[in-house]
């Protein structure tokens, strides 16, 4: 018996036998072709792409009506990648110019694009590189004659174990009762779909696909991120008991779906969702979200040779606003750097993208592009309540320049006779220490603040949690980080301005009491976390939490802070 640890993405506990799926193709054939073979290679590539598109379409058409809301959207994402010029056109050019075979050209360009995503600071966006590799794997399989990796054995319940697994493959595994995946993070599309399927899953499980054999008995805990291989009878008995408790807990949480998020002392709390694409707004609404606290706009810009025009952006923003049926939608302006916004030839890669010209710094340096996005967001505000969120603020002059451009965008729309909300709120992200320390200044110029605890933690501690050598030092509950969060909340409340937390801390049910005690009244998180956080809110008494949190924030030792937090979770 041994155990593996990764990232739990929910779904409870499952006990069953393993079915190991073959590893992704790594040895892509690489050879040069002759000039007279170029057209043949291009034809092979076109055929493979069309085959994969047809496969994705067939899977989408076979989805049951009661299937996960995210399923079709994720299949559409992979289909869109197959139309991405940064991938497909570049692969064609590689065949023509470098005389590479189709498999080599396509796989190499996919690897190049995925490497660009790896440098993005935002973990959610960084995971999109995995989508490119998954699509490339599917295409190269067709090219090599290995059409699918779907398990075709007996239709009996299995816990599927794989190095990686695309959404399309997951949806094909009808007998799956659980997933243990070597790769991926909490924001990967694999994790998102597992949540939507309500199937226990552990991602980032390291060497699971190498250490687990077919028919091994497994205990998979999707809450704690643990996979126990070949458990003995005492462990099985323990987890059967925990499994029953988990099932009852999930049933109890579902009963909270329509219960208002109000603490014991009568404090009303707003629970919102983070989304990446407009079609995810439907799942957010179904999960009980009272609005969208963070709508990432980057999906419209990444890995394109041409910028999305104003109308394309407007349609995407409008779709999310309409889907939320009158609930507020907070749209964050482009939050990537010059080297990631477009796959343009000659783009220079910043030596340190996290500290370079990214987010609002990049947008202000590209006013034509930025004005198009601002006009699109303003136009969407005519269809429902919209809030505009500015990322990575550090200086007051960045706010002033952005507000001037918003004013210009309003004049341009007015001259065209296009409707928009003249009073659309404008807020700023607090995700670097300078912003937290300047919060009292920011709230005088902005309508609201939103705290990105992921980046705030990384910038405060100088740690990239994607770097495995220092990831263990990443501590979102470090006293310094918590003081910056509390400082920001206090500054906003004193000014009478709304403030939210939209980083992972908001979706950590164990942190709910802490944030409530700091004075937070708006949380934004992945929709799957909403009900658990709501449960903690219903249990909390803010009047009792506030003085306890004030004393807790005086701690300077991270270990002592952790101990006090553990006691706080049990507070009334």
Q: Is 502 a catalytic residue?
A: yes
> Can you say whether the dihedral through the CA atoms of 250, 252, 253, 255 is positive or negative?
positive
SS3 (DSSP) at 32: strand
Q: Which residues contact 422 (CB under 8 A, 6 or more apart)?
A: 410
d(CA 69, CA 58) in angstroms, rounded, equals: 17
Closest CA to 539 of 506, 570, 508, 500: 570
* Residue 325 region by backbone torsions, left for phi larger than 0, else alpha for psi between -120 and 50, else beta: left
Q: Catalytic residue among 189, 478, 513, 526, which?
A: 189
In 452-521, beta strands by DSSP E: 499-501
Give the span between the Cα atoms of 517 and 548, in whole angstroms: 8
To 10 degrees, the CA torsion angle through 561, 567, 570, 572? Answer: -90
Residue (of 29, 188, 41) closest to 108 by Cα position: 29
> Dihedral angle at the C-alpha atoms of 305, 353, 183, 232, nearest 10 degrees?
-160
Give the number of other Cβ atoms within 10 Å of residue 363's Cβ: 27
User: CA 486, CA 140: separation in Å to the nearest integer?
Assistant: 50
Q: What is the Cα 19 distance to its own chain's centre? A: 28
List C-alpha distances in Å: 85 to 81, 82, 113, 447, 458.
9, 8, 11, 39, 33
Q: Given the DSSP bridges, would you call strands 329-332 and 292-296 parallel, antiparallel or unpaired?
A: parallel
Q: Are 390 and 333 in contact (CB under 8 A)?
A: yes
CA dihedral of 234, 239, 242, 248, whole degrees rounded to 10 = -130
Angle at which helices 558-569 and 542-552 cross, to 10°: 170
Residue with tokens 């197959």: 82
Tokens 């999305």 sit on residue? 308
- Tell the burial category of 268 from Cβ atoms under 10 Å away from its Cβ (0-12, 13-18, 19+): exposed
Residue recorded with tokens 């004049």: 411
In order, the DSSP letters of 447-467 are SEEEE-HHHHHHHHHT--TTS
* CA distance between the termini of the chain: 39
In 139-185, at which residue ranges do the beta strands (DSSP E only) sit?
Answer: 158-162, 176-181
Catalytic residue among 78, 272, 502, 526: 502
- What positions carry a catalytic annotation? 189, 502
């Amino acid at each position: 018996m041994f155990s593996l640890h990764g990232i739990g993405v929910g779904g409870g506990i499952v006990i069953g036998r393993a079915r190991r799926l073959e590893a992704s193709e790594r040895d892509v054939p690489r050879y040069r072709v002759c000039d007279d073979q170029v057209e043949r290679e291009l034809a092979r590539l076109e055929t493979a792409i069309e085959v994969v598109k047809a496969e994705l379409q067939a899977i989408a058409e076979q989805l049951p009506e009661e299937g996960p809301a995210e399923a079709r959207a994720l299949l559409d994402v992979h289909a869109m990648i197959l139309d991405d010029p940064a991938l497909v056109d570049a692969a064609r050019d590689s065949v023509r110019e470098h005389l590479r075979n189709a498999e080599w050209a396509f796989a190499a360009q996919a690897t190049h694009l995925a490497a660009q995503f790896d440098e993005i600071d935002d973990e959610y966006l960084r995971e999109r590189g995995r989508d490119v590799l998954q699509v490339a794997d599917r295409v190269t399989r067709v090219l090599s004659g290995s059409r699918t990796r779907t398990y075709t054995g007996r239709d009996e319940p299995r816990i599927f174990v794989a190095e990686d697994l695309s959404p399309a493959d997951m949806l094909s595994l009808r007998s799956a009762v659980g997933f243990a995946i070597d790769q991926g993070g909490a924001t990967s599309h694999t994790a998102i779909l597992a949540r939507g399927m309500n199937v226990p899953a552990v991602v980032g499980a390291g060497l699971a696909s190498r250490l687990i054999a077919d028919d091994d008995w497994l205990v998979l805990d999707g809450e704690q991120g643990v996979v126990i291989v070949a458990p003995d009878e005492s462990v099985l008995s323990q987890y059967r008991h925990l499994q029953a408790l988990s099932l009852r807990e999930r049933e109890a949480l579902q009963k909270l779906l329509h219960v208002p998020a109000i603490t014991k002392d009568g404090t009303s709390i707003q629970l919102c969702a983070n989304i990446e694409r407009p079609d995810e707004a439907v799942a957010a609404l179904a999960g009980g979200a009272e609005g969208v606290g963070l709508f990432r706009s980057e999906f419209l810009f990444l890995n394109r040779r041409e910028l999305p025009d104003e109308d394309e952006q407007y349609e995407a923003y409008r779709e999310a606003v309409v889907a939320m049926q009158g609930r507020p939608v907070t749209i964050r302006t482009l939050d990537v750097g010059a080297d990631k916004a477009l796959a343009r030839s000659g783009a220079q890669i910043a030596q340190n993208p996290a500290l370079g010209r990214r987010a609002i710094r990049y947008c202000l340096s590209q006013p034509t592009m930025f004005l198009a996005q601002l006009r699109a967001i303003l136009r969407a505000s005519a269809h429902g309540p919209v809030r505009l969120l500015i990322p990575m603020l550090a200086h007051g002059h960045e706010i002033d320049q952005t507000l001037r451009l918003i004013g210009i965008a309003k004049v341009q729309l007015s001259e065209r006779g296009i409707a928009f909300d003249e009073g659309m709120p404008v807020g700023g992200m607090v995700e670097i220490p300078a912003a937290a320390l300047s919060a009292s200044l920011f709230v005088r110029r902005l309508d609201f603040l939103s705290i990105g605890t992921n980046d705030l933690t990384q910038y405060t501690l100088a740690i990239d949690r994607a770097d495995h050598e220092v990831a263990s030092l990443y501590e979102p509950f470090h006293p310094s980080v918590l003081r910056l969060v509390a400082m920001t909340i206090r500054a906003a409340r004193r000014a009478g301005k709304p403030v939210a937390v939209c980083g992972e801390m908001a979706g950590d049910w164990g942190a709910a009491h802490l944030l409530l005690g700091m004075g937070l009244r708006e949380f934004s998180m992945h929709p799957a976390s909403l009900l658990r956080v709501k449960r903690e809110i219903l249990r909390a008494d803010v009047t009792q939490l506030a003085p306890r949190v004030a004393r807790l924030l005086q701690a300077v030792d991270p270990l002592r802070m952790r101990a006090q937090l553990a006691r706080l979770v049990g507070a009334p």
